[in-house]
């Protein structure tokens, strides 16, 4: 074994745990990448979660619900029209065959509602279940991340 090979092995061992942190999940032809939530202020009543869903199959599927241990969990879509932030509640989000849907700051997001004195804190894990019309149920964990780098979806619906 050359010293270069040794170095390469050492590097890949060092890098692998980093990949494991970008957690992902699979059910049927659906692949869910990196569910995460934004840390909230102590008094927040709602928290926002994000994830990416890839459909490698030949049929569309629909995310019809997200379940978690909060009074209500909803899917919202945000848009800014003429400088005014608006939000629409989604009954379902279609993941097109061969397509990708991203829940991301400023657009689609998961609302964890009724935090009620139990804010989302960086490093915390929020277990949830994604319910797909065809692929069925998939248990995932939303990792709560520091909010500094994540746009403020919460601010648009502090009144919920």
Residues that bind Cu ion (CB under 5 A): 76, 87, 111, 157
Residue nearest to Cu ion according to CB distances in the complex: 76
Distance CA 147, CA 130 (A): 23
To Cu ion, the closest distance from the beta carbon of 23 in angstroms equals: 23
Length of the chain: 160
* C-alpha separations of 98 from 25, 31, 102, 158 in Å: 17, 11, 14, 36
Q: Which is nearer to Cu ion, 38 or 157 (CB)?
A: 157
To Cu ion, the closest distance from the beta carbon of 87 in angstroms equals: 5
Tokens linked to 113: 């509602």
Q: Which is nearer to Cu ion, 30 or 48 (CB)?
A: 48
To Cu ion, the closest distance from the beta carbon of 108 in angstroms equals: 9
Q: Which is nearer to Cu ion, 33 or 77 (CB)?
A: 77
To Cu ion, the closest distance from the beta carbon of 153 in angstroms equals: 6
- For 147, the 3-state DSSP assignment is helix
Q: Which is nearer to Cu ion, 64 or 87 (CB)?
A: 87
Distance CA 94, CA 159 (A): 28
């Amino acid at each position: 074994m050359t010293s270069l090979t040794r170095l390469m092995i050492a590097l890949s061992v060092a890098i692998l745990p980093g990949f494991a942190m970008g957690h992902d999940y699979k059910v049927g032809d659906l692949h869910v990448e990196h569910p995460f939530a934004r840390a909230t202020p102590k008094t927040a009543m709602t928290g926002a979660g994000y994830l990416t869903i890839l459909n490698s199959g030949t049929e569309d599927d629909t995310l019809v619900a997200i379940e978690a241990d909060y009074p209500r969990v909803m899917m919202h879509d945000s848009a800014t029209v003429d400088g005014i932030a608006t939000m629409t509640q989604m009954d379902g989000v279609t993941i097109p065959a061969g397509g990708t849907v991203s829940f991301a700051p400023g657009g689609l997001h998961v609302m964890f509602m009724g935090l009620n004195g139990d804010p989302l804190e960086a490093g915390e894990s929020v277990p949830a279940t994604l319910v797909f019309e065809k692929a069925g149920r998939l248990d995932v964990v939303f990792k709560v991340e520091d909010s500094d780098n994540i746009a403020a979806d919460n601010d648009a619906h502090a009144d919920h």
